């Protein structure tokens, strides 16, 4: 496990890997990470409004960051309760899977294998039941090729695509702090009504390391991959620093101004 990072740094790392994959200088990557301090991440086009209580975030020591990927807000509660994954790759890396839903399904099959290996009875949702406006809280509704346990969402994912390359984020819920979720998302009547956790499904909370190991093994087994541990090279590290200073660490970016 790499050391948890603040929200701006985590998002900058993922964009640096994405840009590197587009340029052919970074390999296809599966990254599992955690957050310190905990943070709410907003989707790329999501407004920062009353649906996320910025005052409660400040009072609780919770950061706020805007992702480069779409979707709705997620609370990342540190490695005790949540694992975030990121996949950066191209269509060629996936054997020619070129479309958005095909990519979601490719990743979902590995996620499903990992959580079933942990003992969780997860199912991939091919056709969601929900409709209507996109909710502000990511786990309020399940999207195509996301994962549920007995009708409740266990993993939330979002993607960004440019040309043949993509960056996908996802959040795997190990546990949940219900009072904190209610405080951070005051307009979501019951955050736990539509979501669940591995702790609830298994009767125990798996560790971050256990979940990350299962996830890596599942990607290898499901797709015939060989994953190799690695870190950022000097060019990627320099790009991360620039992106924090110029984008993810700025109030302008958080406000939704490109």
DSSP string, 23-51: HTSS--EEEEE-BSS-EEEE-TT---STT
pTM check: above 0.85: yes
C-alpha 138/C-alpha 40 separation (Å) is 11
Q: Where along the chain do its domains lie?
A: 7-254
Q: Give the model's confidence band at 133: pLDDT under 50 very low, under 70 low, under 90 confident, else very high.
A: confident
Nearest to 123 by CA among 155, 101, 94: 155
Query: What is the pLDDT at residue 132?
Result: 63
C-alpha 214/C-alpha 234 separation (Å) is 29
Any residues with CB less than 8 A from the CB of 17 and at least 6 apart, and which? 26, 29, 31, 86, 88, 167, 236
Looking at every residue in the chain, the average pLDDT score rounds to: 94
Task: Tell me whether residue 112 is one of the annotated catalytic residues.
Answer: no
Other Cβ atoms within 10 Å of 32 Cβ, number: 19
- Residue 60 is inside which H or E element, if any? helix 54-60
Are residues 182 and 171 in contact, defined by beta-carbon separation less than 8 angstroms? no
Query: What is the pLDDT at residue 90?
Result: 95
What pLDDT digit, counting tens, does each position of 86-104 carry?
999 999 999 888 888 999 9
At 217 the three-state DSSP class reads: helix
Catalytic, out of 5, 32, 86, 138 = 138
The fold of the 7-254 domain, in CATH, is BirA Bifunctional Protein; domain 2 (3.30.930)
Mean of the pLDDT values across residues 59-67? Answer: 97
Q: How far is CA 53 from CA 62, 117, 131, in A?
A: 10, 36, 25
At 65 the three-state DSSP class reads: strand
Which range is least confidently modeled, 126-135, 170-179, 200-209, 228-237?
Answer: 126-135
Mean of the pLDDT values across residues 165-187? Answer: 96
Which range is least confidently modeled, 14-23, 126-135, 223-232, 237-246?
Answer: 126-135
């Amino acid at each position: 496990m790499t050391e948890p990072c603040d929200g701006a740094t985590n998002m900058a790392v993922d964009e640096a890997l994405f840009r590197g994959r587009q340029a052919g200088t970074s390999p296809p990557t599966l990254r599992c990470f955690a957050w310190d301090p905990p943070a709410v991440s907003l989707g790329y086009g999501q407004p920062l409004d009353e649906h996320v209580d910025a005052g409660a975030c400040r009072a609780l020591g919770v950061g706020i960051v805007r992702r480069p990927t779409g979707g709705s807000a997620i609370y990342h509660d540190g490695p005790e309760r949540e694992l975030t994954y990121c996949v950066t790759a191209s269509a060629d890396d996936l054997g020619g899977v070129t479309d958005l839903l095909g990519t979601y399904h490719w990743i979902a099959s590995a996620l499903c294998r990992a959580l079933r290996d942990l003992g969780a009875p997860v199912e991939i949702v091919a056709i969601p039941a929900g409709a209507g406006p996109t909710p502000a809280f990511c786990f309020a509704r399940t999207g195509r090729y996301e994962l549920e346990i007995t009708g409740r969402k266990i993993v939330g994912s979002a993607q960004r695509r440019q040309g043949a390359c993509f960056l996908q984020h996802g959040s795997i819920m190990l546990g949940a702090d219900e009072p904190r979720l209610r405080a951070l998302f005051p307009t979501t009547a019951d955050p736990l009504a539509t979501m669940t956790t591995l702790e609830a499904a298994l009767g125990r909370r798996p560790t971050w390391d256990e979940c990350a190991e299962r996830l890596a093994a599942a990607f290898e087994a499901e797709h015939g991959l060989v994953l190799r541990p690695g870190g950022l090279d000097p060019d990627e590290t320099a790009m991360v620093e620039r992106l924090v200073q110029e984008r993810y660490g700025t109030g302008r970016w958080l406000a939704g101004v490109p």
